[in-house]
Amino acid sequence: MLNEVIFYSLEKTIKRYRQFAQAHITHAGIDITIDQWLVLNVIREAPELGQVEIGERVFKDQASVARIIELLVKKKLIVREPSASDRRKLDMQLTEAGRELMNVVTPIVQNYRRLALAGLNETDVDQLKSILDIIFTNCLSTPHKHETIHKPKPAGQPDAAGG
Amino acid sequence: MLNEVIFYSLEKTIKRYRQFAQAHITHAGIDITIDQWLVLNVIREAPELGQVEIGERVFKDQASVARIIELLVKKKLIVREPSASDRRKLDMQLTEAGRELMNVVTPIVQNYRRLALAGLNETDVDQLKSILDIIFTNCLSTPHKHETIHKPKPAGQPDAAGG
DNA sequence: TTTGTTTTTATGATATATCATATAATTTTG
DNA sequence: CAAAATTATATGATATATCATAAAAACAAA
């Protein structure tokens, strides 16, 4: 029954894809995670962005971005220095190692993305995107009262089904 | 061009869907994560399964399942006792609280799944599933030599691009 | 039966996600 | 300008993911 649910297919596919992607990076002897690469890529393209804005581009929250940036600094792929214009910020910049790593990883990423889409034409991908966008939009709404079958317990005894 | 973005759409959609799902559970005043609920559901349907098999059903590895099970025990949603047939195993069983929680959460899950698919007909969902299955299958292969632009470092000094 | 392999669970280390909060700096208000 | 609100980053706590490995039990092979 669970297997029939489309959301299981979604989870299954995205998890497999992540493993596939990471395997290609690791197989090439490169010591970086996909997530780190994503953030590094944004920093390269738009070094002026703050952590919140970086997060918006890679669908991560600010806290996750902060920790990934820390790792990028530890790995000497970027350097940070206090921003002159806003002392809360730290200006970031790819090191030579960071730029070289981008040069190595980018074609690998293009390659495994191509492999993952083998057998699909542009129409397929277009349809996939359309359907995903609909689901995404549906999931923007917040839960309403009338959608709730069981109310939160009113601090009294739990109802018949309550747990 | 779209191809480069489609995986972003996938990530974006699945992350939004997870937040949407968790929001509905939390909004109903229920203190459980989606992942915990998924594992609890499998235990209810097939209490004889081991952690590896549970993981296969919810796309998690054994270590993740082990830790989620620990939390379910701490939350008194399941009980464990040594198995008579195989002393490496622990027989699991939902507590009364666990069964009650399933009764409360199941309709909520059905509801938010329905909401997430609003505006999509059966054909759309079938197409989505077909395309995801193709991507999943593509991602089953392991990286090959000839797909590798840069070889792993031969234990000497890092190459020009290394890092 | 003894030895070696496999299976099952537990756990350490690290990375990421989420929520909440702390701290410092900037901006807005009065 | 001083107080209040906002913004940017850091970090603590908890949950999950992944990889590796340990420990115990079961199983297979000799």
Mean of pLDDT values over B70-83: 96
User: Phi and psi of B80, rounded to 5°?
Assistant: -125, 145
Q: Which of A3, A7, A121 to mutate to test the interface with B (most CBs of B within 10 A)?
A: A7
**Strand-pair partners of A78:** A94
Other beta carbons within 10 angstroms of residue A15's beta carbon come to 15
Q: What is the pLDDT of residues B58-70, one digit of tens each?
A: 999 999 999 999 9
Using CA atoms, how far residue A2 sits from A7, B42, B57, B156, in Å, is 9, 9, 9, 50
Q: Test A143 with B23 for CB contact under 8 angstroms.
A: yes
pLDDT of residue B46: 96
Whether residue A133 is predicted with pLDDT greater than 80 in this model: the reply is yes
Confidence of residue B40 (pLDDT cuts 50, 70, 90): very high
A82: which 2 tokens? 């206090």
B39: which 2 tokens? 């594992």
pLDDT of residue A150: 43
Nearest to B138 by CA among A19, A51, A56: A19
Q: How far apart are the C-alpha atoms of A15 and A9, rounded to whole Å?
A: 10
Name the most confidently modeled range: A135-149, B47-61, B132-146.
B47-61
Whether residue B142 is predicted with pLDDT greater than 90 in this model: the reply is no
Nearest to B6 by CA among A130, A63, A41: A130
Mean of pLDDT values over B10-21: 94
Percent over 90 (pLDDT), chain A: 82
CA of A51 to C1' of C27 (A): 19
- What b/e sequence results for B78-103 when a residue is b if at least 16 CB atoms lie within 10 Å of its CB, and e otherwise? beeeeeeeeeeebebebbeebbbbbe
User: Phi and psi of A92, rounded to 5°?
Assistant: -115, 150
**Strand-pair partners of A94:** A78
Whether residue B92 is predicted with pLDDT greater than 70 in this model: the reply is yes
Burial class of residue A92 (count of CB atoms within 10 Å of its CB; 0-12, 13-18, 19+): buried
Strand-pair category, B90-94 with B78-82: antiparallel
Confidence of residue B3 (pLDDT cuts 50, 70, 90): low
Chain C positions with a protein C-beta closer than 7 Å: 7-13, 15-20, 24-27
- What b/e sequence results for A52-82 when a residue is b if at least 16 CB atoms lie within 10 Å of its CB, and e otherwise? eebbebbebeeebbeebbeebeebebbeeee
Is the pLDDT higher at A145 or at B94?
B94
Whether residue B93 is predicted with pLDDT greater than 60 in this model: the reply is yes
B13: which 2 tokens? 């959609």
pLDDT of residue B149: 43
pLDDT of residue A143: 85
pTM: 0.86
pLDDT of residue A142: 84
Q: Which residue of A has its CA nearest to B55?
A: A12
Q: What is the pLDDT of residues A99-129, one digit of tens each?
A: 999 999 999 999 999 999 999 999 999 999 9
CA of B38 to C1' of C8 (A): 21
How close, in Å, is residue A154 to chain B by CA atoms? 10
Contacts of A61 (CB under 8 A, 6+ apart): A55
Using CA atoms, how far residue A144 sits from A147, B15, B28, B101, in Å, is 5, 20, 10, 20
Q: Does the C-beta of A88 come within 7 A of strand C?
A: yes
